[in-house]
Amino acid sequence: MFQRLRENKSTQGTLLASPTMLWMLGLLIIPLLLTLIISFGRRNADGGVIFTFTLDNYTRLLGYSTSCDNGASSCFNPLYMQILGRSLSLAFNTTIWVIVLAYPLAYFIARANPKRRNTFLFMVLIPLWTNFVIRVYAWMMLLRKEGAINIVLGYFAHLLHIPFQPLEMLYTPGAVLVGMIYEFLPFMILPIYTFDSDDSDVDRDLFLHAQIWIWRGDCCGMTIPHTTKLCEKECAG
């Protein structure tokens, strides 16, 4: 049996992938299917789910509701459309900014001196060692009225004799955007760097070759498929 297993590469691959597939099935696919099923149900008075088939939730998402305050049979409420629009806008802006920031940094790391390259990668990975909630609280300490940013701005304003009022940066769309960019940036840098550095020592050692590589569009052409997949993950996230 073990001899047959050693000779059968397909079975080996299946066995090796089985734990991951079971993990994905139990913690990703099944919960998503349950969410899809619940989306067609109704809610009872206690907030529980009544498993039935209705499209009310989707029509409510589009802005149409049958529960109107004025007693009408149907009315238009753009609340969910506005929430969805803000979510899509945030995802789009985050993706664009992450690409803009990740491409040059990944290119720089891939072309850096091999002795310094690991240091740069280490600096990219350091934030991932800390829990996401802790990192969010760190940004809150920076962006709040009494935070480090306002303290520094106030100090320079005092030196220049300029009136200064602390900026309201926390709990704003801009603060959310900054946090999202900060969270997803390493996940865009590392895959682009990994793919970009594979051929970095082959024919692009010189700066001139690197310029030609970018000018011909090889840089974008080779990394755009991978970047597109990452963008899909970020928008889904």
Q: What share of the chain has pLDDT > 70, as a percent?
A: 76
pLDDT tens sequence across 64-88 = 877 676 666 677 778 888 888 999 9
If DSSP codes are grouped into helix, strand and coil, which group holds residue 52? coil
Q: What is the pTM of this model?
A: 0.69
pLDDT number for residue 28? 92
Helix, strand, coil fractions of the chain, as percent rounded to 5: 70, 5, 25
Q: Which residues contact 36 (CB under 8 A, 6 or more apart)?
A: none
If DSSP codes are grouped into helix, strand and coil, which group holds residue 62? coil
Say whether pLDDT at 209 is over 50.
no
Task: Kindly state the tokens that stand for 162.
Answer: 């300029």
CA neighbours within 13 Å on the CB side: how many for 192?
29
Domain ranges of the chain: 1-54, 84-236
pLDDT number for residue 34? 93
Task: Kindly state the tokens that stand for 123.
Answer: 């600096």
If DSSP codes are grouped into helix, strand and coil, which group holds residue 203? coil
Say whether pLDDT at 215 is over 90.
no
pLDDT tens sequence across 11-57 = 777 888 889 999 999 999 999 999 999 999 888 888 788 888 888 88
